[in-house]
């Protein structure tokens, strides 16, 4: 690495120790990656995917065979009855909004059981803002069960909250801008069992960042519907945009009417030449997720060597691709993001600065040198400038380049005399 990037010997030595310490975690990641890659290959073969399914459709998009087969492939990959996967879903928040508006009706109550969800969904629900057409504006009541002091889910609190009628139980799998543990499929199953004993509510999971990290997805563990973004895990770094919704067939159908319009649903919507990229991205997703996970483990291991607190710890079981590093102050946080940017394949010459990002209450700094704008399956890091001054990083299309980005982030902190 020093041949190209002139890493200081202090950081280089810590990096070598970090790699050695991460070997057992890497082996676990490779085992799950191989299983999921075989699962995805089997789904492609079962659905007889051919080159003809890549053909572009325009206009209404009636009879788009590739679009319909892609829905079936994704459903098989995640263990669902049915799915929608579309380039026209603009981002994760949009996709979640489509599902929420598709399934909730005026007078319904939505119960979030993982504390306050992350910032960008607040306006969709109506936690903040008014008059924008939020769920609250349409008569949907929002309630939540706060997390326990250690950041875990309050199972007793969920059971108590279900004494009142709710239409939906909403679970955010990943941690957002918090340090609480992300949820694995076993955690989701525990929640689902409590819900099923007390209620017929729809169980919806925001599955962003969790796809292909474990052998199974939440719909195999009691969730009725899951949703996520294609510029995260399931797009494999190839999909240019898009989102997916998967789960019970009747619920997916309802979501399709919100995605387009009642009566038309999934039957319209041209592929516009995007289908090949969605197929190819989905096929590559298990491998790319494995690379991102190795990068996250290495980042945790390196910063543990340098004396910082990490969550999850480098040796912990992974349930999503997010890695949080507690960097203690804003100067170190900014140095991390600016150093990582120097190792990006795209825009390495750019110096990220904190800014007033729409949807957030604090200034946010983001490092992202991605081939696809905003893609967080590519190496990126971001954080609001607020306590506890943690940075959340994720992604990497390949571990070798991701490792360089992490080393350069540590190097920048070292150069500025901020190393803990």
Q: Are residues 366 and 273 in the same domain?
A: no
pLDDT at 412 over 90: yes
Averaged over 368-374, what is the pLDDT?
Answer: 93
Assess whether 104 and 250 both reside in one domain: yes
Query: Mind listing the pLDDT tens digit for each residue in 74-124?
Result: 999 999 999 999 999 999 999 999 999 999 999 999 999 999 998 889 999
In a domain, 385, yes or no: yes
Residue 359: the pLDDT is: 65
Number of domains in the chain: 2
100 belongs to a structural domain? yes
The answer on 110 and 236 residing in a single domain is yes
Interval 135-168: pLDDT, tens? 999 999 999 999 999 999 999 999 999 999 999 9
CATH of the domain at 223: 3.40.640.10
Instruction: From 282, 304, 326, give the residue that closes a domain.
Output: 282
Whether 335 has a pLDDT exceeding 80, the answer reads yes
Q: What is the CATH number of the domain that holds 14?
A: 3.90.1150.60
Using the 3D structure, point to which of 247, 282, 317 is the last residue of a domain.
282
Q: Report whether pLDDT(192) > 90.
A: yes
Looking at the fold, whether 33 and 43 belong to one and the same domain comes out as no
Does residue 329 share a domain with residue 293?
yes
- 54 and 22: one domain? no
Query: In percent, how much of the chain has pLDDT > 70?
Result: 99
Mean pLDDT of 308-334: 96
Question: How confident is the model over 57-69, as pLDDT tens digits?
Answer: 999 999 999 999 9
Average pLDDT of the residues of the chain: 96
- Residues 125 and 256 placed together within one structural domain of the fold: yes
In a domain, 376, yes or no: yes
- Residue ending a domain, among 282, 311, 326, is 282
Same domain as 319, residue 266: no
Clarify whether residues 267 and 334 are in a common domain. Answer: no
Quick one: tokens of 39? Answer: 């699962």
In a domain, 420, yes or no: no
Q: How confident is residue 1, by pLDDT bands cut at 50, 70 and 90?
A: low
Q: What is the mean pLDDT of residues 241-252?
A: 98
pLDDT of residue 358: 73
Q: Does residue 318 sit in the same domain as residue 223?
A: no
364 lies in which domain range?
2-37+286-415
Residue 255 sits in the same domain as residue 399: no
Same domain, 270 and 327: no
pLDDT surpasses 80 at 361: no
């Amino acid at each position: 690495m020093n041949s190209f990037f002139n890493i200081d010997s202090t950081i280089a030595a810590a990096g070598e120790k970090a790699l050695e310490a991460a070997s057992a975690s890497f082996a676990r990641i490779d085992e799950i990656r191989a299983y999921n890659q075989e699962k995805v290959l089997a789904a492609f073969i079962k659905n007889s995917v051919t080159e003809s399914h890549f053909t572009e459709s325009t206009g209404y998009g009636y009879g788009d065979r590739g679009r319909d087969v892609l829905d079936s492939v994704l459903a098989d990959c995640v263990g669902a009855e049915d799915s929608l996967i579309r380039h026209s879903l603009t981002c994760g928040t949009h996709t979640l909004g489509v599902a929420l508006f598709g399934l909730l009706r005026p007078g319904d109550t939505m119960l979030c059981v993982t504390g306050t969800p992350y910032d960008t969904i607040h306006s969709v629900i109506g936690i903040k803002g008014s008059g924008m057409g939020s769920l609250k504006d349409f008569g949907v009541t929002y309630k939540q069960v706060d997390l326990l002091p250690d950041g875990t889910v309050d199972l007793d609190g969920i059971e108590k909250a279900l004494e009142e009628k709710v239409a939906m139980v909403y679970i955010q799998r990943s941690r957002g801008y918090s340090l609480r543990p992300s949820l694995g499929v076993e955690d989701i199953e525990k929640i689902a069992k409590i819900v099923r004993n007390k209620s017929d509510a729809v169980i919806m999971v925001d599955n962003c960042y969790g796809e292909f990290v474990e052998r199974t997805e939440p719909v195999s563990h009691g969730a009725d519907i899951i949703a996520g973004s294609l510029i995260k895990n399931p797009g494999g770094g190839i999909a240019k945009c898009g989102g997916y919704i998967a789960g019970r067939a009747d619920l997916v159908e309802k979501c399709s009417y919100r995605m387009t319009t009642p009566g038309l649903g999934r039957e319209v919507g041209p592929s516009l030449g995007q289908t090949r990229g969605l197929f190819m991205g989905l096929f590559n997703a298990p491998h790319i997720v494995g690379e991102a996970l190795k990068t996250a483990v290495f980042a945790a291991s390196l910063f543990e060597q340098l004396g910082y607190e990490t969550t999850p710890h480098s040796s912990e079981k992974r349930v999503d691709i997010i890695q949080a590093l507690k960097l203690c102050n804003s100067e170190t946080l900014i140095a991390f993001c600016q150093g990582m940017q120097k190792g990006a394949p795209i825009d390495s010459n750019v110096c990220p600065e904190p800014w007033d990002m729409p949807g957030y209450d604090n200034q946010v700094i983001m490092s992202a040198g991605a081939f696809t704008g905003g893609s967080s399956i590519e190496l990126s890091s971001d954080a609001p400038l607020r306590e506890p001054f943690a940075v959340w990083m994720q992604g990497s299309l390949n571990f070798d380049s991701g490792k360089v980005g992490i080393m350069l982030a540590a190097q920048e902190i070292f150069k500025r005399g901020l190393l803990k």
